[in-house]
Chains A and B, each alone.
Chain A
Amino acid sequence: MKLGFSREDELFRAECADWLNGQMAGEFKDIKGITKLTACPERRKEWEQQLAAYKWSCIGWPEEWGGRNASLAHQVIFAEEYARAGVPGRVNHIGVELAGPTILAFGTEAQKQRFLPDIAAGKTIFCQGFSEPGAGSDLASVRTKARLEGGEWVVNGQKIWTSLAHISDWIFVVSRSEEGSKGPKGLTFLMMEIDQPGIEIRGIKQINGDAEFNETFFTDARCPADSLIGAPGEGWKIAMGLLAFERGVSTLGQQMGFRNELDEIIAAAKANGAAKDPLIRQRIAKAEIGLNLMRYGALRMLSQTDHSKIDGAALTYKIQWASWRRNLGELAMDVLGQAAEVAEGAEYEWDTLPNLFLYSRADTIYGGTNQIQRNLIAERGLGMPREPRGDV
Chain B
Amino acid sequence: MEFVFTDEQAMIAETARAFFTENATSERTRKAMAADGIDAELWTAFCQELGLSGIGIPESAGGAGLGLVELAIIAEAAGAQVAALPMLGSLAMAAQAIAAGGTPEQQAEWLPRLLSGEVVAGYVHDAALAANGDVLTGGDRFVAHGASAQVFVVTSNTGAWIVPVDAAGLAVTAQTTMDQTRPYAQVALAGVQGAPLGNPAAAIEAAHRAGFVTVAAEALGGAQAALDRTVGYAKERVQFGRAIGSFQAYKHRLADMMIEIEQARSAVYWAACAVDEGSDEAELAVHSAKSFAADTYFMCAGNMIQLHGGIGFTWEHDAHLYFKRARAIQSMLGSGNWHRERIASMILGDAA
Contact = CB atoms under 8 A, between A and B. Distances in A.
Nearest to B261: A312
A288 B339 CA distance: 12
Interface in A1-16: 1-6, 9
A297 B292 CA distance: 14
A1 B3 contact: yes
A272 to B, nearest CB: 12
Contact of A300 (B3, B284, B285): B3
Given A373-B255, A385-B243, A76 B235 contact: no
A292 B288 contact: yes
A1 B288 contact: no
Contacts of B256: 374
Nearest to A2: B2
Contacts of A282: 337, 340-341, 344
B119 interface: no
Interface stretch (B29-37, B52-60, B204-212, B266-274): B266-274
A281 B348 CA distance: 8
Contacts of A366: none
Contacts of B132: none
Interface string B249-280: 01110111011011101110110011001010
Given A3-B274, A270-B348, A299-B1, A293 B259 contact: no
A12 to B, nearest CB: 12
Interface stretch (B4-12, B76-84, B97-105): B4-12
Contacts of B258: 312, 315-316, 377, 381-382
Given A269-B348, A293-B263, A384-B254, A4 B340 contact: no
A297 B266 contact: yes
B248 A304 contact: no
B234 interface: yes
Nearest to A275: B348
Interface in A264-309: 266, 269-270, 275-276, 278, 281-282, 284-286, 288-290, 292-293, 296-297, 299-300, 303-305
B291 interface: yes
A201 interface: no
Residue among A289, A297, A385 facing the most chain B CB atoms (10 A cut-off): A289
B343 interface: yes
Interface string A37-59: 00000000000000000000000
Interface string B283-319: 0110010011000000000000000000000000000
Contacts of A2: 1-3, 273, 277
Contacts of B117: none
A222 to B, nearest CB: 42
> A-side binding surface: helix, strand, loop or mixed?
helix
Nearest to A387: B248
A320 B252 contact: no
A371 interface: yes
Contacts of B333: none
B89 interface: no
A278 B337 CA distance: 10
A7 to B, nearest CB: 12
A375 interface: yes
Given A303-B1, A377-B258, A286 B246 contact: no
A383 interface: yes
A383 B277 CA distance: 37
Interface residues of A, number: 53
A221 interface: no
Residue among A270, A297, A388 facing the most chain B CB atoms (10 A cut-off): A297
A73 interface: yes
A384 B4 contact: no
A167 interface: no
A300 B263 CA distance: 11
A379 interface: yes
Nearest to B337: A282
A96 to B, nearest CB: 22
A91 interface: no
A319 interface: yes
Given A1-B5, A1-B6, A288 B262 contact: no
Nearest to B277: A4
A243 interface: no
Interface of B: 1-6, 9, 69, 227, 231, 234-235, 242-243, 245-246, 248, 250-252, 254-256, 258-259, 261-263, 265-267, 269-270, 273-274, 277, 279, 281, 284-285, 288, 291-292, 337, 340-341, 343-344, 347-349, 351-352
22 contacts: A1-B3, A1-B69, A3-B1, A3-B273, A3-B279, A275-B349, A281-B340, A281-B344, A284-B348, A285-B343, A289-B267, A296-B269, A297-B263, A312-B261, A313-B266, A320-B259, A374-B255, A383-B231, A384-B231, A384-B251, A385-B242, A385-B245
Given A282-B341, A300-B3, A316-B258, 20 more contacts: A1-B5, A3-B279, A276-B352, A282-B337, A285-B347, A286-B340, A289-B288, A292-B267, A293-B270, A313-B262, A313-B265, A373-B255, A375-B251, A377-B258, A378-B255, A379-B251, A384-B231, A384-B234, A385-B245, A387-B248
Q: Which 5 A-B pairs have the closest CB atoms?
A: A378-B251, A285-B340, A374-B255, A281-B344, A385-B246
Interface of A: 1-6, 9, 72-73, 76, 266, 269-270, 275-276, 278, 281-282, 284-286, 288-290, 292-293, 296-297, 299-300, 303-305, 312-313, 315-316, 319-320, 371, 373-375, 377-379, 381-385, 387-388
